[in-house]
Each structure stands twice: as C-alpha cells, then as structure tokens.
Amino acid sequence: MATVNLPIFPLPVFLLSKGVTRLRIFEKRYLKMVAHAMKNDGFIVLPYGKAEKVSDMPTGSWVEIVNFDQGEDGLLLIDVQCKCLVDIHLMTQDKDKLHHGDVSIKKHWSDSGEDNTADQLADSLNKAFDENTELTALYRQAYFSQDSWVVARWLELLPVNIDEKRLFVEPGSFGAAKEFLQNIILLE
C-alpha cells in the first residue's frame, strides 16, 4: 500500500473526514511543522486520550491548513480540516523532537455513507451551528443533507472521552455511531 511520510502532532482532538478545528501553535517544533505543512501536504493529528493503549497501527487524522492568523497574544492560530483518516505504520522522531510517520489512507465510512437523510440529527446539528458562531466561522461549507457528515460532526462535538470516540474510526462503525447519537440526542 502506498505510504507518505508526514509530521505528526499528538493532540487531544478527534477529527473525522471534513472536520475542522482551530489550533494554537506555540512550540517551536510545531511552528516548524506548520511551516512545512503549508508548503507541502499538511500533517497528521494523532488523537490521544487518558487510557492509552497504543495499538500496533494507530489511526490519525490527515489534516490540511485551511486558514491561519496570528492572535493578538502573538500565538499562531491555524484552522485545519481533516481530509481523511490514516493508518500510521512507522513513527520516527527528528532532531527537533518532532514525530514523523509513514502513513497510508484508511478506509472509513465517510467515504461510502448513504446520503440524503434530513433527519432530526441533521436538524439538531444545524441548530447547534446556528447558535454557535465559532462553529459557523470554522466551517465554510456545511452538508446537513449528508448522513456521514452530520454523524461525524456530532461525534466530534459531543462531550465524550476521546478514547470512546476513537471506536468510530473503524470502517464498520457507521451504524453504531448513528445509533449512539440517536440514543443521546433523539430519545424522548
């Protein structure tokens, strides 16, 4: 399988395909990483939680920088968008202590999800976007009519441990993810 070598940023952030988040960058090695990522192919966000049991082949989110700014506190702000999930095969560390990994694209449900369900999950998410200007500002485009997009955004937003969220990086987890959300959001 084709692999690419990309810098890795371990963060307590869970992102599925098309997910966007804002990061504050202050460490030198990550500033270097961002500079590199701007010119090249982005970087990998490696989500970590509390109960770390590292699998042989961790899953990361391949992100691209879609916006950047310098906050008035002098820190660099970047908005990153996840283009796909990746399997990380081999990790190394360079002299600046920045991690790099050989990664290959991981199949996920967002690539094959059925679309066209304007259901309550979508309505509820739409409302959350309306109420939260930060979210609206992050997402230039929203796809409330796409099941996989709606489910993915809800999973990112929910106040659930990242260890639990990571169950949903498995390709066969879409049904479980949707049911999980319905149990929380829709139950009367």
Partner 1 sequence: MQSVHSELPSRQTAATSSSMTNKIDHSQLCQWLKAVAVDRDKQAFTGVFKFFAPKIQRIAQSKLNNEALAAEVLQDTMSNVWRKAHLFDESKGAATTWVYTIMRNVTFDLLRKIKANKEDNLSDDIWPLAESLNTEDESFTDHIQSRNLLGVIETLPENQQQVVKGFYFMEMSQEQLAVHLNLPLGTIKSRLRLALGKLKLKLGEHHD
Binding residues for partner 1, total number by CB under 8 A: 50
Q: Which is nearer to partner 1, 4 or 11 (CB)?
A: 11
**CB-based contact 78:67 (threshold 8 Å):** yes
Cβ atoms of 124 and 151 closer than 8 Å: no
CB 13 → partner 1: shortest distance, Å? Answer: 7
Site residues for partner 1, 62-91, by CB under 8 A, read: 71-75, 91
Angle value at C-alpha 108, between 104 and 109, nearest 5 degrees:
165
The amino acid that residue 173 corresponds to is S
For partner 1, which residue of 35, 38, 118, 184 counts as binding (CB under 8 A)?
184
Task: Provide, rounded to whole angstroms, the least separation between the CB of residue 104 and partner 1.
Answer: 18
d(CA 187, CA 125): 15
Window of 27-35, 36-44, 110-118, 141-149 that interacts with partner 1 by CB under 8 A:
27-35
Please tell me the distance from the alpha carbon of residue 188 to that of residue 146, in angstroms, as a whole number: 24
User: Hunting for tokens 């009367």 — which residue is that?
Assistant: 188
* CA 12 from centre of chain: 10
48 binds partner 1 (CB under 8 A): yes
- Residues contributing to the site for partner 1 (CB under 8 A): 10-13, 20-22, 24, 26-28, 30, 48, 52-54, 58, 71-75, 91-93, 97, 99, 124, 127-128, 131, 134-135, 138, 156-160, 164, 167, 170, 173, 176, 179-180, 183-185, 187
